[in-house]
Structure 1
């Protein structure tokens, strides 16, 4: 919680953010957050409800106005169909991270600080005009002293401070949203932490260097090129890669005779990264795919990469097995186990929706099946059932959807799922090879032995806490807020009930004594009347 209170030091930025939020017609959300200045801003912008734009469009424009951190946050949300409906995913997918370039003189100190030499000592030449400019970095062409053409990505000065400031505000808002009952299941703090982790990785260019080097090391497709890396000319804020000449797929018109072959090569390379290496390019859109002069394809921009450990690949094989058997109950159970299901998620209802969505495709020819709509539909089902998907599967689904769009640009008739089938079969068969089964058996045995070794300590800890009286249990009650309201009401009425009881008891004493004194009997009757009125007053609120 310290993050949230620490963010109050960023109040000027918070005020600016709230003004942008209200200006774009999201003032109704401010009333729920109970933030400083929210009520006044809600009144100021009440008449500006957003105009003719849809709510997803207004959200995109709002994020663009808020600056680079929030554009990056919107791009993250565009990868989370388990959190947002598809119309928001589609709109946020159009967020562009482009800004006006900085003079090279402003970036030269970063080169000196990171690599310890003057730009002229590091490179034989460097073009001061950038070939790309984004919110975090600029990219310049250069030539090494060995005569190799390279691109140099240099981080913008001060961008880390800007992002740190905005992260504090994001955590503050996430902390407050967590307290809103209708929104708490979206896990706003978890989403903020995922974004924090992603943006910090993006700020450290060594991760991108490692991604490119690992993918290049295992690339086997001759017509798909991965740029070479230069670790001696790279650091946390500087990245140097081989320059690949050519136009992006979005700008190029590849020869028709090559289109189908290039689509197959790109698909094969991506599936190898996913199913064999476990590290894959997570953003293969046409702007990140180059058509080289010799007709080959080049992949660039490895800042967004997904990772699938062997356990996740094993889960994918399990999903595939359930689909082949059309066992939707098992599939639903596997999904709930691998994801983060709410306690209200009903496995039978989930299985029924999955069957309704997927079963019609069994009789369709593979060439007629589009993978993108299937992934969107499944993610939509999981969203309705409040199942949050692990990040690696979200990135995988997004990469496959983007890949399908990219290869369709090369060859409109290309069926991605038809190419996926042999790769999936190969992974499935490898899973059941004796050496694979033996490796998994060893891992399972190791896990079992580790658990057995830890079990006495765990049980001893529980018994010790029980003996000390420090064992606590947490019980989730569905209607806890209603119970709290009733307890508060009873607490406020308790003094009244005690007063009524006291008057009633006094009346009874007066009645007993009144047998010998008429005036006491009259007082007793009055006491009963007062006690009755107080009792009705006490009981009346509980009839509502």
Structure 2
């Protein structure tokens, strides 16, 4: 279907692929043997996505969140993709804004800066002032981008259909991955989703377990003005965190301030990951702002991840296993995370993890790159054909971005010292819950209930044993072949006894045969025994089990 349609966009994609020298796709598009897919080198893949346009740049950014699918080299290269594109003329943007507003533009805003502060492949952002004087940011969808994305989504699915015919495509379920990416692209077109994510994140961070909630800011959403194509939110005045000038911060010690901000970043993201289960999945430096009043703001909440309580507990244990350099435990936890039941060699997986972790045996915990180890864990899982949930990619990418920002912002950061008290508290929370007294009382009630019920249960068990009413229902697997073998052996033994009995009966009758009738009976028995014996010998020989 993909090759039979000759729309200009498809020809353009083929030309870009062939021009950049992707040999595998060249064979696939020309009908050659392409059973073993090979990705182009990371730099070539990045060039292909850039040449294909803004939508594919966005696809590359989504791919950069999947270290469970791609190696670290690809993740690093795709993470540098920027979707900065020329802005749409203000006249076109103004028309779209007027279409989205319920009231006239002049009655809603006092001023709107026609020059965007940022322009991306999906939207561009303008600064404006509401009629009541509040400063807001207008995120406006690029006119016509929905039609472009719909067209490109169809092409992505067509390519996935081609790759799905190969062993590689079936192993990694390429069609499901393509469907996941297309849904993510479609979600980018609905700004009400991003608004909802922003509100939920702000509510979650308003309850700080390890930090002061007053130190973190998430923009307020103006729902009365927000639509699917227009997002209106609070304007936050600041600069990217790596550009912050802490030397002029009211005479505060810049080193202490930098350390405090680094700790705050770790604490707010650890709460999102391991307590809330709902996290900002794109904490790159441009989305972490240092405000003029000294607070930190999280921007662009369109990409989020979710972790259920069971996954949170497994990942917490995984951090401890990494600290202990315990390859066996890493292997067990990886299998618990896996979303498929395909057979996996546990011993091979443990050996792979032990070999990987052995590199860190003589490395100080303060020098260990935790995100790099998590990437390597995902790589080993991929090599062992273990399919992990897609949220593991977002989780690993979030930790990698967070660690990268922290080390760049504060090179003196001691990562282990930052996370050690948080991990300790997480384990205490898993053991005792948020309310230790309540957990203790619940445990005491369970013990009391067990102590009251146990004597009665033991009494019932003894009664059933003594009255011979106790039945055991056992189900043993793998005994079907053994049962068939025993049945065949028993049948042959019975058959042999029958043949022997016929022969003995015929012999007895023949020795005492005084009439012609008895002689005939004896001969019939001998003949029947001979035929049955011959058939038994032939069946044994044909079964190949004479010895």
Same fold (TM over 0.5): yes
Contact conserved, 2:274 with 2:316, CA < 8 A, in 1?
Answer: no
**Closer, same or farther in 2 for the Cα pair 1:7/1:252, shift >3 Å?**
farther
1:243 and 2:235 aligned? yes
Deviation, 1:323, is 5.6
* Cα distance in 2 between the residues matched to 1:283 and 1:274: 13
1:205 and 2:204 aligned? no
* Cα distance in 2 between the residues matched to 1:28 and 1:128: 46
Deviation, 1:309, is 2.2
| Partner residue, 2:294 | 295
1:191 and 2:177 aligned? yes
**Closer, same or farther in 2 for the Cα pair 1:7/1:431, shift >3 Å?**
farther
* Cα distance in 2 between the residues matched to 1:373 and 1:305: 21
1:155 and 2:141 aligned? yes
1:26 and 2:12 aligned? no
Q: Deviations over 1:186-232 (max 9, x none)?
A: 32112101101211221111121112111212324332222222111
Contact conserved, 1:151 with 1:241, CA < 8 A, in 2?
Answer: yes
| Partner residue, 1:73 | 59
1:13 and 2:9 aligned? yes
- Unaligned ranges ≥5, structure 2: 35-39, 248-253, 447-547
**Closer, same or farther in 2 for the Cα pair 1:373/1:314, shift >3 Å?**
closer
**Closer, same or farther in 2 for the Cα pair 1:22/1:101, shift >3 Å?**
same
* Cα distance in 1 between the residues matched to 2:168 and 2:30: 15
Length, aligned pairs only: 422
* Cα distance in 2 between the residues matched to 1:150 and 1:114: 16
Q: Deviations over 1:136-189 (max 9, x none)?
A: 001000111221111010001111110110111111111110111244323211
* Equivalent runs, 1:374-413 vs 2, <5 Å: 374-413=373-412
Contact conserved, 2:10 with 2:155, CA < 8 A, in 1?
Answer: yes
- Matched residue of 1:139: which SS? strand
| Partner residue, 2:285 | 286
* Cα distance in 2 between the residues matched to 1:311 and 1:354: 22
Deviation, 1:327, is 5.8
Contact conserved, 2:163 with 2:169, CA < 8 A, in 1?
Answer: yes
1:333 and 2:332 aligned? yes
| Partner residue, 1:276 | 275
Deviation, 1:27, is 4.0
Contact conserved, 2:190 with 2:229, CA < 8 A, in 1?
Answer: yes
* Cα distance in 2 between the residues matched to 1:20 and 1:101: 24
* Cα distance in 2 between the residues matched to 1:349 and 1:121: 68
Contact conserved, 2:198 with 2:301, CA < 8 A, in 1?
Answer: yes
**Closer, same or farther in 2 for the Cα pair 1:89/1:329, shift >3 Å?**
same
Q: RMSD over aligned Cα, in angstroms?
A: 2.8
- Matched residue of 1:124: which SS? strand
Q: Equivalent of 1:230, from 213, 222, 227?
A: 222
* Cα distance in 2 between the residues matched to 1:344 and 1:433: 35
Deviation, 1:360, is 5.6
- Matched residue of 1:301: which SS? coil
**Closer, same or farther in 2 for the Cα pair 1:326/1:373, shift >3 Å?**
closer
Whose radius of gyration is greater, 1 or 2? 2
| Partner residue, 1:424 | 423
Deviation, 1:400, is 0.8
Deviation, 1:11, is 3.3
* Cα distance in 1 between the residues matched to 2:234 and 2:127: 10
* Equivalent runs, 1:322-471 vs 2, <5 Å: 328-340=327-339, 343=342, 345-358=344-357, 361=360, 364-433=363-432
Q: Equivalent of 1:114, from 81, 95, 100?
A: 100
* Equivalent runs, 1:63-142 vs 2, <5 Å: 63-142=49-128
- Matched residue of 2:7: which SS? helix
- Matched residue of 1:379: which SS? helix
Contact conserved, 1:341 with 1:386, CA < 8 A, in 2?
Answer: no
**Closer, same or farther in 2 for the Cα pair 1:26/1:344, shift >3 Å?**
farther
* Cα distance in 2 between the residues matched to 1:10 and 1:349: 48
Q: Equivalent of 1:165, from 148, 151, 164?
A: 151
- Matched residue of 1:232: which SS? coil
Deviation, 1:9, is 5.0
- Matched residue of 1:96: which SS? coil
Contact conserved, 1:350 with 1:385, CA < 8 A, in 2?
Answer: yes
Q: Deviations over 1:75-104 (max 9, x none)?
A: 122122222222222111111111000112
- Unaligned ranges ≥5, structure 1: 43-53, 443-544
**Closer, same or farther in 2 for the Cα pair 1:141/1:7, shift >3 Å?**
farther
Contact conserved, 1:260 with 1:410, CA < 8 A, in 2?
Answer: no
**Closer, same or farther in 2 for the Cα pair 1:317/1:293, shift >3 Å?**
closer
Please give the TM-score of this superposition, normalised by the length of structure 1.
0.72
Contact conserved, 1:79 with 1:395, CA < 8 A, in 2?
Answer: yes
